[in-house]
Amino acid sequence: MNQPSPDLAIVETRVYRGANVWSYDKAIHLVVDLGSLEDFPTDKLPGFTEHLLQMLPGLREHSCSRGRRGGFVERLNEGTWLGHVAEHCALALQQVVGHDIRRGKTRQVKGQRGRYNIIYGYVDEQVGLAAARLAVRLVNHLVQPDPEFDWDQELETFILRAERTAFGPSTQAILDEAVSRDIPWIRLNRYSLVQLGQGVHQKRIRATMTSATSAIAVDVASDKDLTTRLLGAAGLPVPKQESVRTVEQAVAVAERIGYPVVAKPLDGNHGRGVCLDLQDADEVRAAFPVAKEQSRRGWVVVESYITGRDYRCLIIDGRLAAVAERVPAHVIGDGQSTVEELVDLTNADPRRGVGHEKVLTRIKVDDAALQLLADQGYKLGDVPPSGEMVKLTLTGNMSTGGISIDRTFEAHPENVEIAEEAARMVGLDIAGIDFICPDITEPVRETGGAICEVNAAPGFRMHTHPTIGDPQFIAKPVVDMLFPPGAPSRIPIVAVTGTNGKTTTSRMISHVFKGMGRKVGMTSTDGVVIDERLVIRADASGPKSARMVLQNPRVDFAVFEVARGGILREGLGYERNDVAVVLNVQPDHLGLRGIDTVEQLADVKAVLVEAVPRDGHAVLNADDPLVREMRRRCSGQVVWFSTAEPGSEVRDMIDQHCRRGGKALVLEPSERGEMIVVKHGRREMQLAWTHLLPSTFGGRARMNVQNALAAAAAAFAAGAPLHDIRQGLRSFSTNYYLSPGRLNEVEVQGRHVIVDYCHNAPGMRMLGDFVDKTADNLAATSELGRVSRIGVVATAGDRRDDDMRELGAVAAQHFDVVVVREDVALRGRQRGETADLVAEGVRAAMTEGARCRQLEVVLDEIDAVRHAMARSNPGDLVVVCVDKHPTVMSELENWSNQAQAGSGTPDGPVGDPDFTPAPVTETA
């Protein structure tokens, strides 16, 4: 039998930032190749399981598919594939750094031996990806030892990396509280700047500073001299102090105040540069450069040294939230161990870690610690007597290895009042008041002591994870301050998907709510629109654009067009949508990213339905069988819309749904036309005649009848009153200003021109039906009794060859002349290749008796438009399927303007008299 080789490799990586085809929550997706390891499950690798569990003992807790502790170990012993092992290693590594993630699955890629999809959850994207890379290296190392792979060093590096990218304990505490209240959050940078809430309801935090924190108050707290003077003016106990810039000034102030003194940076933090208990001028001179180095402005504060214990009082929104006694990093002698051995023993405490990785920080023995030891008469190799406390730092900061003791319920009421008044004087919404006093349980004014510092953005770790005492849930008052009980944190989200009609439906929904006075943020293939202003012109139907809208502080209602590509690439980009709209599922975009069938495409679009909460709605097209099946995936209520006639099987299903209290929008035909009817339980409410809606062109544009039904159903599900929905639909038209590039009708030199974004065969069928009806109407008023139909068509280069041919064949059924062009973006094709495939479809249809009598190929879009206009006559119908609609509309406007100026004739292109089209022409 062949020997195993370390062949496990990551082939592809995707990061889903919201609900996706694999998971309801954000996840990382790896495609891995096992290579020769496909033949070596874990039971065929001697010693593999034992060594793996030694390196990652947390794997013993994984239940895997067994649903019980140790289930994964059972799978290892029975034999499981190494892709599955890599998944669990990635989860275990994240758990090592405190990320409680347990979601994961591994599935073989269909039809590809040795390739697997690995999907697992994450808290921090960079940590999750680093865990995947290290997991693969670990598995390969266990298969065949790599002499350069040092597991302890690799794990330490991973932990340090996680520490750099992870939130600090204070930020994490606030986020945990926000999540427990269903408040969404978005990380805005690599550090601790976080947005809580969405749109108009958003608040921001950076560590423990909030969007309500006064910038002036932060400046005051940063100036220790100013802070002391303000507090002293309010009658609060503070030490004597002055700010100095030179050593001699520091000595002079110390002499005037009286020894012992403290030297500290004017604007420092975390206890850096603080030198305590300076007994004479020489010590002041030695301490001055240490303090000045940590001062951003070069000023050093010299103040009287207050003896006593170090207490931190945390004030949130003007009220005391917690009190902690801070004890500097130290060791306690046992009469046998050296100082160095005692430090190692203390750092071995599982609660201590690197930086903020755990609730306590490891003690670091640096030059300052060695000097402090010497001042106490010790060296690292000395053995302190049993019970003696040996200090390793002077300040009690947790970040330098100190410990904390909770004293929240022991503080004397007068001391509480002093701390609250200090926070009010400085003006901070969240403040850390540092007391030095003999005992916090006794009044400071009687026992002696003072406020030595007021801190903006105080750390929460000493309160949430005290070394001794009960933890205080101080994130609660912070979130209460930002989001008082009953205050909203989310804005309504309506997400629209489908093969065709997404953009128009999204615009209709936005138009309805804009008419209600809402500030609507909308994403579509045309860009990002905020309150009817196009702020970004791009294909914005993906998750990044959705997050942009949710970050905008003006938006109070969001409408997202959601495309298949964005879902497959990154997921939804948000947690859930209140209303999901699925218009249709038709064969388009197949053969891309593993989606080869319409059923698989339906699974992708169903992600929106799965993201509907229990109090949300899914608006589904009852006429589409694939969309109908999505009702089983919806946790909320289903709202049907349908153009089916009464008495049909679909209408019977809808009527039964409504009899059970459900909602639906249907068409009721009559002699006057078709009425949109809202059904809710046994009630029926008339909404609007379809032929009176401008977007339907008198009912001829059946695609917009369906879109209007879907938009009305979505607005109804989102809580819009019927009269506002009716007004919105009646005032929405497909003019270029409301719906650019979607069924825009313009008249150019007597020619009827339709500009649309149609780019696939199903869409062309709907457009062709509209063209037939429109041409019949025009023919009825024409002197000749007929009109010529000229169509400019194209499709995207990433479609399948057969789909391109089908588009050409369908176009040939509805146009007398088909002009085939190409998009600017070829999407992997050669220039002219896409047009040739569409033209093949046209030719095939022409040989079978299609309407088309002439095929012409003009690759450039503007040249194709000019050619179509040049060969048309007044009264003809010209349909342009566009790629860049602004340039096409500009070209058509030039034709109209120059015709009015009399500089051209209908027989040639008015805009460019020197233009001579050179199409490839075929005539039947």
738-770 pLDDT, tens digit each: 899 999 999 998 899 999 999 999 999 999 999
Q: Cβ(803)–Cβ(795) under 8 Å?
A: yes
* Contacts (Cβ under 8 Å, ≥6 apart) of 892: 746, 748, 753, 755, 865, 869
Measure CA 55 to chain center. Answer: 34
Two structure tokens written together for 324 = 């902690």
Task: Kindly give the residue spans of alpha helices, DSSP state H, lying in 588-721.
Answer: 598-605, 607-610, 625-628, 649-659, 702-717
| Residue 433, pLDDT score | 96
| Residue 916, pLDDT score | 44
| Residue 828, pLDDT score | 85
CA distance 740 to 707: 16
Angle at 283 between CA 279 and CA 287, to 5 degrees: 125
CA distance 684 to 707: 20
Return the H-helix or E-strand segment holding 825.
Answer: none
Two structure tokens written together for 570 = 């990154």
| pTM for the predicted model, two decimal places | 0.86
| Residue 907, pLDDT score | 44
pLDDT in tens, 27-64: 999 999 999 999 999 999 999 999 999 999 999 999 98
Q: What one-character-per-residue DSSP string does 137-181 give?
A: HHHHHHHS--TT--HHHHHHHHHHHHHHHSPPHHHHHHHHHHHHT
Two structure tokens written together for 186 = 């978005």
Q: Cβ(124)–Cβ(46) under 8 Å?
A: no
| Residue 306, pLDDT score | 85
Measure CA 919 to chain center. Answer: 47
| Residue 781, pLDDT score | 83
Local mean pLDDT, 10-residue blocks, the chain (924 residues): 84 92 93 93 92 94 88 93 95 91 91 92 93 96 92 92 85 93 92 94 95 94 90 92 90 90 81 84 91 87 88 96 91 88 85 68 84 85 88 77 90 96 96 93 91 92 90 95 95 95 95 96 92 88 90 96 90 92 90 85 94 96 96 95 94 95 95 95 95 95 96 97 96 92 91 93 94 92 84 92 94 95 90 94 93 94 93 92 91 78 47 45 56
| Residue 111, pLDDT score | 83
